[in-house]
Structure 1
Amino acid sequence: MTIIAAPSETFWTALGAVGAMLAIPTALFIGWLGYRAVWPRRRIYWSARVSTVTHTAARGALTITHGSTTLSNPHVVEIDLSNVGNKDLEPAQFNGRPIEITSTAEVIAVLNETSRPTSQRVLPATVDTNALSLSPATPLHQGQTLTYIMLVDGSDPQIDLRASVSNTYIKRQTRLTPDEIVRMYYTRMSQVVGASAGTGLLYLVFLLLFKA
């Protein structure tokens, strides 16, 4: 007849300690979910990249025109606009005002406008003299990124964004190169691995302490 010994008091003590360790982060996680449900996080990140079309146009070696207009110092500006919050931004939250992408150089035309995911609509764009106005006639969905490519004419274009969005944080970001994205990915992976190893080590220390 095989007799199975009941778990020792040390085992139950260690198990209780592990349960207490897990209860704290679980409670914090549940509280965090509740906080996000009651107070949604609304954020817009945007970036601008300016590229010179040619450096020789001003010297007369090459003439660039758009329609019947001759451009003296053309640049291509690529704008990314992303909803990185946890809620859609509805048209009513824009207070009846457009999103304005301003330029110190004259805005000539919109060359392209896209949305990621492609199934979601692009906010309609209207060209003004020194701005591109985006009409929030449709929602800017959670996780959606809008890209606008516009042609401007003028030296050293400075790009800015103006918007009136209720309870929304708007931040300009520097566009990352592919190498920077890879480095950021491996840095975050190493942080996750380090945190997991630290938790495992702490668990082992608790077991050794209670066993002693």
Structure 2
Amino acid sequence: MNKHPESITTALFEDGASFNALTFIVSIVAILVAATAVLYQRKSIPRRRLDITIGAVAPLASATSVSGLDISHNGTSLTNPHITGIELKNSGKVDLPSSQFDQSEPLAIDFHAPIVEAVQEADPLATFRPTWSKSGSIISVGPTLLPRGSIASFQVLTDGEPNITTQAELTDTEVSISKRGATVTPRPILGKRTGQAAVAIMAAFAIFTGVMSFKLITEGSLKTTKIEIAEASVTPGGKIAVWGKNFPSNSIVLIELRCIGSEYHDKTEVGANSEGGFRKVITIPRRNPKPWEAESCDVFAVNLYPWNQKDVISMDHFDLQVP
């Protein structure tokens, strides 16, 4: 057998295992680079945080607990009035512009009790007055600019004991609800959810790539197509045996033989077996329109079907000896 095939692919890929190992390494490096990029991108996003603090919930005397007592607001009787203090503070490192409100929806604070009245306190620490409104049991804040370190305080009168929750969708912003001294309902930031999803996808891809690459390495299933010529040299009138390996199963391969100096060119087709191999014997004619020259002749294998790609898949050569 000719021990020096001139395959278009390098010897690194001849047995497939080296190719698969390289594929595995490249895949892992790509995943690490992508993960590093995501982490860097996450760190590059300024930390944004909005704290919602619930103060004391003060029940007023119930109309049913004191005989003859009537508590009303603008002529409307209240059966179970409560006053609740609530504070909004931008405790992050940057301002929260109105664009942080997802889809321009306001931050909704739901008391789950009818709101009778709500006022923003004239707090000396309140450095801004955000846009807000009330409707039913909900106070809606924004979309509005929330400057860094700013505080807004409200006093809310409800007819019923409040149970406060929020519907706060601020992009890349952590929103938390707490009572004085203890966090009640932390709200994850949208950007973090997105990042967690990206990490989960990359982890799944890493596992899949690792398993498939390990399988390919152990099984050696990806092997480079190649041809080899049994004879190192031949004279006109002699024969060469062309062996093909690792071609697509049952594919059609075009074999081209070229001797440049002798201006000899021949083509023939051969079918690969179910394992992707073939053997084709080619006879070199004794006579040629142009006199034979002693030279190195090339043999090319071009896959025609099923890929239909007329690209050179592999090549080898033999020496033409002229008596």
Match of 2:120 among 102, 105, 112: 112
1:37 deviates by: 8.2
- Residue in 2 that maps onto 1:146: 152
Mapped to 2, the partners of 1:163 and 1:114 lie a distance apart of: 24
Q: Which moved more, 1:84-93 or 1:41-50?
A: 41-50
Match of 2:179, SS?
coil
The one-letter amino acid of 2:85's match is E
The one-letter amino acid of 1:75's match is H
Mapped to 1, the partners of 2:54 and 2:77 lie a distance apart of: 25
Q: Does 1:163 align with 2:171?
A: no
- Residue in 2 that maps onto 1:71: 78
Consecutive unaligned residues of structure 2, counting only runs of 5 or more, are 1-39, 183-323
**Counterparts in 2 of 1:112 and 1:160: CA distance versus 1, 3 Å:** same
Identity %: 28
Q: Which moved more, 1:104-113 or 1:62-71?
A: 104-113
Mapped to 1, the partners of 2:165 and 2:159 lie a distance apart of: 16
- Residue in 1 that maps onto 2:255: none
Consecutive unaligned residues of structure 1, counting only runs of 5 or more, are 1-33, 178-212
- Residue in 1 that maps onto 2:177: 172
Q: CA RMSD in A?
A: 2.4
The one-letter amino acid of 1:46's match is I
The one-letter amino acid of 1:150's match is V
User: Residues 47-101 of structure 1, C-alpha deviation per residue, up to 9 Å, x if partnerless?
Assistant: 11311122x4223442111102110100001111111110000001112111111
CA contact (8 A) 2:85 2:156 kept: yes
TM-score calculated relative to the size of structure 2: 0.40
Runs of 4+ aligned structure 1 residues displaced above 4 Å come to 34-37
- Residue in 1 that maps onto 2:219: none
- Residue in 2 that maps onto 1:12: none
CA contact (8 A) 1:72 1:153 kept: yes
- Residue in 1 that maps onto 2:47: 41
CA contact (8 A) 1:114 1:148 kept: no
Structure possessing the higher relative contact order (Cα contacts under 8 Å, 6 or more residues apart)? 1
**Counterparts in 2 of 1:149 and 1:125: CA distance versus 1, 3 Å:** same
Mapped to 2, the partners of 1:173 and 1:103 lie a distance apart of: 14
CA contact (8 A) 1:116 1:145 kept: no
> Is the radius of gyration larger for structure 1 or structure 2?
2
The one-letter amino acid of 2:163's match is Q
TM-score calculated relative to the size of structure 1: 0.59
